[in-house]
Structure 1
C-alpha cells in the first residue's frame, strides 16, 4: 500500500512542478510583452514560450512522455504540416502586400 502512496505523491509532485513551470512561463510571456523587441521579436518570443508551454502540457498532462515512438512520428508529421500551413499563409500575405504596392 505504501508503494501506491509513494507513486501517487511522486506523480502529484511532478504535476505541481509542471504547473509552477507553466505559471512562471506565463509571467515571463507577460513580462516580455513589455520589452520593445519590435513586433516580430515580441511575436517570436511569445510563440516560442507558447510552444514550450504546449509541449509541457502535452508531455505531462496528456501523458505523451510515456508513449511509444510511433506517436512522435505522427507528432513530427503534424508539426511539419502546421509549419507548411504557416508558410503558405505568410506567402499569401506577402503576395497581398506586393499587389497593394503596385
Structure 2
C-alpha cells in the first residue's frame, strides 16, 4: 500500500471535505416546498385555460431545483457536477417543450 499523501485529492476525489448544511436551512427548504405545494394545489382550482399545465410544470420545476440544490447538495459541489445536473435539467426542459408543443397542436384541426 502506498503512503503517498495527495493534498489536492486528485487521486481520491471522493475523500474531499463535505459541506454540512444546518438544520435551519433544511427547515427553510421544507417550508418553501410546503408553500409551493399549496400554491400548486391552489393553481389547480383556478381555470387558466391552456396555461394550467404550464403553470403546474413551472411550479414543479422550481421545487425540483430547490430539491436538487439543497437535498442533493449540488449547490456546494464542483462546476463539473453543476454542469452535469444543468445538462440533465436542460434535457428535461427540451422534452417537456416538445411534449407541450405536441399537446397544444393536436386541437388545430378541430377548430
- With normalisation by structure 2, the TM-score equals 0.66
User: 2 CA distance for matches of 1:43 and 1:90?
Assistant: 9
C-alpha deviation, 1:76, in angstroms? 2.3
Given the superposition, is the C-alpha separation of residues 18 and 87 from structure 1 closer, same or farther in structure 2, using an over 3 Å criterion? Answer: closer
Name the residue aligned to 2:22: 11
Structure of higher CA gyration radius:
2
Q: Using the alignment, how far apart are the partners of 1:45 and 1:23 within structure 2? A: 17
Q: Counting helix residues as a fraction of each chain, which structure ranks higher?
A: 1
Q: Which residue of 1 aligns with 2:17?
A: none
Structure 1 unaligned segments of length 5 or more: list them: 1-7
In the alignment, what sits opposite 2:71?
A: 61
Structure 2 residues without counterparts, runs of 5 or longer: 1-19
Which structure is higher in RCO with an 8 Å CA cutoff and minimum separation 6?
Answer: 1
Aligned residues: 91
Root mean square deviation of aligned Cα: 2.5
